Chain A
Amino acid sequence: MNVIVKNLTKYYGQQRAVDNLTFEVKTGEILGFLGPNGAGKTTTMKAIAGYITPTDGTIIVGKYSVADNPSKVKQLIGYLPEHNPLYTDMTVIDYLRYMAQLQLIRADKINDRILEMVNVCGLEGEKHKRIGELSKGYRQRVGLAQALIHDPQVLILDEPTTGLDPNQIVEIRELIRRVGREKTIILSSHILAEVEATCNRILIINKGHIVADGTADQLRKAEQGAELVRITIEDAYRDLVINTLRQVETIDFVDTVKGKNDSFEVHGMPGTSCRRDIYTTCVENGWLLTELTPVETKLEDVFRELTK
């Protein structure tokens, strides 16, 4: 089920949270929503979930518009809000039953769905406990269980792994990837490694605008432009190495590495690869090449560069 966001704009009073945002998410895509604090991630997600009314723009889920058919859309969406508000006085089972009833699941299916969610989200041992007694990680699982209880076509998860321990994070990521195969998932996070591990598409927004859109690899390539290789050459004079390498056609310029006498950073010409040429140059001059590592721009760098 496709989610189409068109010209979404949202003002809070005078403050513009989201500015003319347009994007589309297709079935099977896990879209990672990245951005610094206050970029408009949560606002956009709340607008898709139908919790806030956009100042301008349309959101279409499947064939329904959020503005015209809110109840229909809400039945298609599973939503986990940022702070994961729960009724702390209720037991896990009671809470899930209540949420299932609110999602208009047929009465004879409710028990099956609850049991399935308890299994999928690993709540077996906690199902009769009051939610107030649960640790943050388990509460997060309860939140995820209520988002999934009606088997929604679209999942909107606002920072789903906050407060989880590393094992739980891995489990939740696994779960998201598993359910993500036939569903549309939009998840936000400020942990870049997480987005890279779970999502097959990344959308970076800043100050309400989209600043980047693509897979993690595409974003890195776009940001990096030219190839960057780190090399270590032993048994050679430093200046000679620099001068010789500079004359190679595919190499733009060569930097030294601080604190290391025989290491260099080689910047290639855009659109070419210089690794082959580095090797042949070393062979011709009889230098000992002990390291040749392509340096990838980290997603962190891309993020910082784009959201400065």
Chain B
Amino acid sequence: MKLVWTMACQELRSYFDSLTAYVLLVLFLGFSGIFTWVYGSDIFMYGQASLQMFFSVAYITLFLLIPALTMRSIAEEMKTGTIEMLLTKPITCRQIVLGKYLAIIMLIAIVLVLTLPYYISVSLLGNVDHGAVICGYFGLLLMSSAYAGIGLFASSITNNQIISFMLALIIGIFFHLIFGIIGRQIGGGLGLIAVGLDMNSHFDSIARGVIDSKDIVYFASLTFAGIFLAEQSLKSKIL
């Protein structure tokens, strides 16, 4: 556990040292800020003291930004050979992957904490459903966790960062979009499975304030699958 924490702190520090974290902050807060407050069907058009708008914008932004965060995490260690340094230390493959996962979650949590002024502003404008807001943030963390798992897996199977980024997006877009479309097109039993794999429905129900165990199970299994596959692929890489 101590090693996981060491790994996570080191990763988090390297996100800030390499400016990746700041770029992410600017991009995320910029995008979500503009679409929540200024442009398009923003909060003022909506006419309700609700953060629904922000959550849907954040949902898309995080989908695009998380692969950019995860792409280097394992791929770079393999490319520069520093993975050899790590794996000849008492740390295991699982601890490495878990530490890197934890670092991404911590970074996303920091990003989300910085959007709390949105919540404060809206709550000053009218009656906010506090439960729904908490659930929304919780949902964002859950979907980040799932995409972080997928991203780590993508990063573990190649040592090229661009390929890793693309791969994470391709896998991600299946859950984000394609499963939903396929499911609604074909219908039947397979269609139900495909719809069940679609992330939108799970996220929407949480963001509306309904926390159902099946949604939690959905995000948890995606996260677990990603981390598990990343660990296996890292193990196989070192022969």
- A interface residues with partner B (beta carbon < 8 Å): 12, 46, 49-53, 70-72, 74-75, 77, 79, 81, 83, 85-90, 98-99, 101-104, 146
Extra inter-chain contacts (11) besides given A53-B239, A81-B84, CB under 8 Å: A50-B87, A72-B90, A75-B90, A77-B88, A81-B85, A83-B81, A85-B82, A86-B82, A89-B18, A90-B17, A102-B89
* Shortest Cβ gap from B7 to chain A (Å): 8
Q: Which residues of B contact A74 (CB under 8 A)?
A: 88-90
Nearest residue, chain B, Cβ from A54 = B239
> What are 30 A-B interface contacts by the 8 Å CB criterion?
A49-B88, A50-B88, A51-B88, A51-B238, A53-B238, A70-B92, A71-B92, A74-B88, A74-B90, A75-B90, A77-B88, A81-B84, A81-B85, A81-B88, A83-B81, A85-B81, A85-B82, A85-B83, A86-B82, A87-B14, A87-B80, A90-B14, A98-B10, A101-B6, A102-B3, A102-B7, A102-B86, A102-B89, A103-B90, A104-B90
Q: Which residues of B contact A85 (CB under 8 A)?
A: 80-85
Interface bin, chain B: 20 to 34
* Shortest Cβ gap from A162 to chain B (Å): 15
Q: Which residues of B contact A146 (CB under 8 A)?
A: 85
Interface residues of B in 1-31 (CB under 8 A from A): 2-3, 6-7, 10, 14, 17-18
Tell me if B's interface is mostly helix, strand, loop or mixed.
Answer: helix
Nearest residue, chain A, Cβ from B84 = A81
Interface centre among B6, B84, B238 (most CB of A within 10 A): B84
* Shortest Cβ gap from A50 to chain B (Å): 6
How far is B6's CA from A86's CA once the two chains are assembled, in angstroms? 17
* Shortest Cβ gap from B42 to chain A (Å): 39
* Shortest Cβ gap from A206 to chain B (Å): 23
Task: Check if B91 is an interface residue, CB within 8 A of chain A.
Answer: yes
A51 touches B87 (CB 8 A): yes
Q: Which residues of A contact B14 (CB under 8 A)?
A: 87, 89-90
* Shortest Cβ gap from B209 to chain A (Å): 41
Query: Provided the pairs A71-B92, A81-B81, A146-B85 are in contact, do residues A104 and B238 lie with their beta carbons within 8 angstroms?
Result: no
Contacting B90 at CB < 8 Å: which of A46, A51, A52, A102? A102
Q: Which residues of B contact A103 (CB under 8 A)?
A: 89-90
* Shortest Cβ gap from B45 to chain A (Å): 44
Q: Which residues of A contact B92 (CB under 8 A)?
A: 70-71
How far is B92's CA from A52's CA once the two chains are assembled, in angstroms? 13
B89 touches A89 (CB 8 A): no
Nearest residue, chain B, Cβ from A81 = B84
B2 touches A52 (CB 8 A): no
Nearest residue, chain B, Cβ from A10 = B239
How far is B84's CA from A52's CA once the two chains are assembled, in angstroms? 9
How far is B74's CA from A116's CA once the two chains are assembled, in angstroms? 31
How far is B3's CA from A122's CA once the two chains are assembled, in angstroms? 29
Nearest residue, chain B, Cβ from A143 = B85
